[in-house]
Amino acid sequence: MKAMPVRMRAGRMREQRVQKSDFDGLTTQHAMNSTVTDEPSVPLALASASPRRRELLAYLGVPFRIIATDAEEHDHLPPPAIVAALPPLALPLFDHPTLRAWRKAHAACASAPDSVIIGADTIVALEGDVLNKPVDPDDARRMLRRLSGKTHTVYTGLAVIDARRTDALPLFDLVASQVTIDTLSDADIAAYVATGEPLDKAGAYGIQDLGGRLVRSVVGSYTCVVGLPLVATWRLLRAAGMTGLRDPAEGYRRWLRDRGKEIPPCPPTLP
Ligand SMILES: Cc1cn([C@H]2C[C@H](O)[C@@H](COP(=O)(O)OP(=O)(O)OP(=O)(O)O)O2)c(=O)[nH]c1=O
C-alpha cells in the first residue's frame, strides 16, 4: 500500500484508507484492476491491523478504511447483552473470537462514527486449549509440535457494528474450519520457524503462505483459516445494509488466482 499518513489516536489507534489506487505487494496490479467495484452504500471500516484481513476484505470489492486498535487485549467484562448474543462456544469467554472481534469493532466506533465497522479474530483450538499467536520462536516450535499429525479447529469470530446506531445489537458470527496438519519432524518445524512466518499467526502457521505445505486437509472455509471468512463477512455486511459487495465465491476465486493458487476441491474446502 502506498504509505498513507497514519493518524495516531488515543489508545494506540491507527487509521488508513484503502481504495482503488491503494493496494500493494503481491496483488497490486490485480487489486488495482479488479478488486474495487463500487462505492459502498455506507462507509466501511475494518478494525484490524492484519494484512491478511485487509487483503481478503478488498476482494469483496468495496473501499474501506482501516482502524487498528489494541482492544483484543482488554479483559473488562462486556455488557451482558453482548455476552448473551455471542454464538455458543465451549471455550472460556475471554478467548471467544467473536467477543474479541466485537472488542476491536467497538473500540473503532469513535474513530468512524459514520461507518459500518467489522472486526474479526482468529484462534486455533486443540484438545480444549487455545493457541493464539506464539510469543517467540520457542513457543512457535511448541505449538507446531502439538499440532503435528492432528486435526484442530480454527475459529474466526466476526462482529459488525453500525456506528451510526450504537443502540442496536451488533451482528455476530463464528466460523469454524477443521485443519489437519501433517506429521512434522523436528527438522521440518525448525526450518519453518526459521522463516519467521509463524510469529504473527494464530497456531504458529499461515496456511496461505509456506505454512500451506504443512497442511494435509481443510474441511470448511479456507478464508476462515486465513483470518476473514468471506462468505460470512459478505452475509453480515449485507445484513448491515451494505450494497455494492462482490459475490464472495467470485472474490475467493480472484484472490486465489492473484496468489497463483489452485482452487482447493470444493467441498470439503469452501470459500
Ligand atoms: C491459522 C492462521 C492464522 N492466520 C492469522 C490471521 C490473523 O491475522 C492472526 C490471528 O491473530 P488475530 O489476533 O486474530 O489478528 P491480528 O492480531 O493479526 O490482527 P488484529 O487483531 O489487528 O485484527 O493469524 C493466518 O494468517 N493464517 C493461518 O493459517
* Residue 175, number of CB atoms within 10 A of its CB: 25
CA angle 145/146/150 to nearest 5° reads: 110
Q: Are strands 215-221 and 269-270 parallel, antiparallel or unpaired?
A: parallel
* Residue 216, number of CB atoms within 10 A of its CB: 11
Does residue 103 form part of some domain? yes
Task: Determine which residue's CA is closest to atom 13 belonging to ligand 1.
Answer: 121
Rounded to the nearest whole angstrom, what is the distance from the C-alpha of residue 201 to the centroid of ligand 1?
A: 5
Nearest of 203, 236, 205, 219 to residue 101 by alpha carbon:
236
Q: Are strands 151-162 and 129-131 parallel, antiparallel or unpaired?
A: unpaired
Rounded to the nearest whole angstrom, what is the distance from the C-alpha of residue 200 to the centroid of ligand 1?
A: 7
- How much is the pLDDT for 70? 83
Query: CATH code at 146?
Result: 3.90.950.10
Asked if this assembly's ipTM is beyond 0.95, the reply is yes
Task: Determine which residue's CA is closest to atom 9 belonging to ligand 1.
Answer: 201
138-153: string of b/e by CB count within 10 Å (b at 16+)?
A: ebbbebbebbbeeebb
Cis geometry, peptide bond prior to residue 267 (ω within 30 degrees of 0): yes
Task: Determine which residue's CA is closest to atom 6 belonging to ligand 1.
Answer: 227
Contact by Cβ (8 Å): 229, 56: no
Which residues form ligand 1's pocket by a CB distance below 6 Å? 48-50, 52-53, 68, 72, 104, 121-122, 124, 133, 154, 200-203, 205-208, 211, 225-227
Rounded to the nearest whole angstrom, what is the distance from the C-alpha of residue 205 to the centroid of ligand 1?
A: 10
Q: Which residues are catalytic?
A: 121
- How much is the pLDDT for 71? 82
Distance CA(81)–CA(169), nearest Å, equals 8
- How much is the pLDDT for 27? 40
Nearest of 5, 3, 1, 51 to residue 24 by alpha carbon:
1
- How much is the pLDDT for 126? 98
3-state helix, strand, coil in the chain (%, to 5): 40, 25, 40
Number of H helices, E strands in the chain: 9, 10
- How much is the pLDDT for 3? 31
User: What does residue 223 show for φ and ψ, rounded to 5 degrees?
Assistant: -75, -20
Nearest atom, ligand 1, residue 68 CA? 22
Nearest atom, ligand 1, residue 121 CA? 14
Each residue's pLDDT expressed in tens, for the chain with a length of 271 residues: 333 322 223 334 555 665 543 433 334 334 434 445 556 688 999 999 999 999 999 999 999 999 998 887 677 899 999 999 999 999 999 999 999 999 999 999 999 999 999 999 999 999 999 999 999 999 999 999 999 999 999 999 999 999 999 789 999 999 999 999 999 999 999 999 999 999 999 999 999 999 999 999 999 999 999 999 999 999 999 999 999 999 999 999 999 999 999 888 777 889 9
Rounded to the nearest whole angstrom, what is the distance from the C-alpha of residue 139 to the centroid of ligand 1?
A: 16
99's grid cell? 467477543
Q: Which domain holds residue 150?
A: 7-262+265-269
- How much is the pLDDT for 74? 76
Does residue 97 form part of some domain? yes
Does residue 1 form part of some domain? no
Does residue 2 form part of some domain? no
- How much is the pLDDT for 16? 60
- How much is the pLDDT for 18? 57
- Total domain count for the chain? 1
- How much is the pLDDT for 30? 44
Distance CA(137)–CA(173), nearest Å, equals 32
Does residue 200 form part of some domain? yes
